[in-house]
Structure 1
Amino acid sequence: MSQARFEVPGPRAFALAVAAMAAVVAGSNYLVQFPINDWLTWGALSYPVAFLVTDLLNRRYGPAAARKVAWVGFAIAVLASLFVATPRIALASGTAFLCAQMLDIHVFDRLRAGRWWRAPLISGACAAALDTVLFFALAFGGTGAPWPTWVAGDLLVKLAVNAGLLAPFRALMWNLGRPLPASRG
């Protein structure tokens, strides 16, 4: 794992990251209730942005700050989701979200020293796979909904969106600067 020291996000940056995370998750929980067809829901198009937020935080502020935002964003998103989705979807989303975010943060941190695109691409793909399978099994298992086909369709779209988010990640990463160097004393 990374041995670099990272700057602590200020209150404004932290609040912005939490708000972005909560909005993406609550919005995706609303959108997942509306299938596009038998193999895809609208939530697949928006949810990968949560991993973009996490990866940008992890790159700039390190894994501890990314975990903190994920936990706070999780709490707010689950509460907000109770108003825009069913309780089952909100709880399934919260469970899948936390598991996937912690995996994303861990994998990203392990790969951070490689080429700029490896960490967000691989961590996002691993986390999207875990999140998708866990969410759909918990949210729709036993309901008669075609959730196994939604898993396949949503995952393929999430992986494509994840790859498409590499360009915004690179552009935003460049503007975020680099972590602080380790102290010399």
Structure 2
Amino acid sequence: MTRAHLPGILAMAAIVVASNILVQFLFGQWLTWGAFTYPLAFLVTDLMNRVYGAGPARTVVFIGFLVGVFCSLIGTQIHGEFGPLVTFRIALGSGLAFLTAQMLDVSIFAALRRRRWWQAPLASTLIGSSVDTVLFFSVAFSAQFAWLEPANDIGWANEALPLLGLGPIVPLWVSLALADWMVKLSLALLALIPFRLIVQRLDSTSIRL
């Protein structure tokens, strides 16, 4: 790790902290504000991978993971109306999803980095985001994982309701996961714009130097 990696480290840490705060605030019926900041972590990972390689990208991911663990520990000590802001299942799901999805993102990007400029960031982010969503919401809220924290009542998350208010009857957490996943996919496409601009700027700067 060098001083050149510091912007990526600080950006990842800021995104993780902001997302842990903003996830406490609802945006509509199915989302929280954190859903719009967290996907930016994939942009940071991909930029680090493109500019510095897979090794530094993994370092940034691991530091982001440690920051997330720290945020979760703080959240377990803050009690709201219904108990701790962060339960064991949420902390476990969050950490597992982040580390698994981000490391997968790094590996996929590295495998595709010599293809057309948009293929590596798009494929790695889409797959990583999908894995992230499945892992987090299933571990944190699915009734099948209730044994992880028997004292935590997640009955509200398994209330049977129409999917996103319109579709077939499913547990509430499935609608929450689907809405979150759609935001991630949308931002993955939008993130190609800053990815391209930042990489071009860095490449032109390195050429001048």
TM-score above 0.5, yes or no: yes
- 2-structure distance, mates of 1:62, 1:141: 36
Q: TM-score, normalised by structure 2?
A: 0.74
Matched, 1:58 2:49: yes
1:41 to 18, 21, 32: 32
Q: Which has the higher contact order (CA 8 A, sep 6+)?
A: 1
Please say if residues 20 and 71 of structure 2, whose CA atoms lie closer than 8 Å, have aligned partners that are also in contact: no
Please say if residues 109 and 119 of structure 1, whose CA atoms lie closer than 8 Å, have aligned partners that are also in contact: yes
Matched, 1:133 2:124: no
Q: Which residue of 2 aligns with 1:173?
A: 199
Please say if residues 48 and 128 of structure 1, whose CA atoms lie closer than 8 Å, have aligned partners that are also in contact: yes
SS of corresponding position for 1:177: helix
Q: TM-score, normalised by structure 1?
A: 0.83
Please say if residues 30 and 81 of structure 1, whose CA atoms lie closer than 8 Å, have aligned partners that are also in contact: no
Q: 5 Å matches for 1:34-183?
A: 34-84=25-75, 85-88=85-88, 89-142=90-143, 143=154, 144-145=156-157, 146-177=172-203
Deviations 1:27-46 (A, max 9, x none): 22332333323432322211
- 2-structure distance, mates of 1:61, 1:129: 25
Question: Shift in Å at residue 102 of structure 1?
Answer: 0.8
Matched, 1:23 2:14: yes
Please say if residues 126 and 188 of structure 2, whose CA atoms lie closer than 8 Å, have aligned partners that are also in contact: yes
Structure 1 residues 159 and 37, CA, compared in 2 at 3 Å: closer, same or farther?
same
Structure 1: which 4+ aligned runs deviate by more than 3 Å? none
Please say if residues 136 and 147 of structure 1, whose CA atoms lie closer than 8 Å, have aligned partners that are also in contact: yes
- 1-structure distance, mates of 2:30, 2:200: 36
- 1-structure distance, mates of 2:140, 2:14: 19
What percentage of residue pairs aligned between the two structures are identical? Answer: 48
Higher-Rg member (1/2):
2
Question: Shift in Å at residue 137 of structure 1?
Answer: 1.6
SS of corresponding position for 2:101: helix
Structure 1 residues 139 and 40, CA, compared in 2 at 3 Å: closer, same or farther?
same
- 2-structure distance, mates of 1:73, 1:176: 23
- 1-structure distance, mates of 2:57, 2:186: 23
Matched, 1:10 2:11: no
Deviates more, 1:25-34 or 1:117-126: 25-34
Structure 1 residues 54 and 172, CA, compared in 2 at 3 Å: closer, same or farther?
same
Aligned CA RMSD, in angstroms, stands at 2.0
Matched length = 170
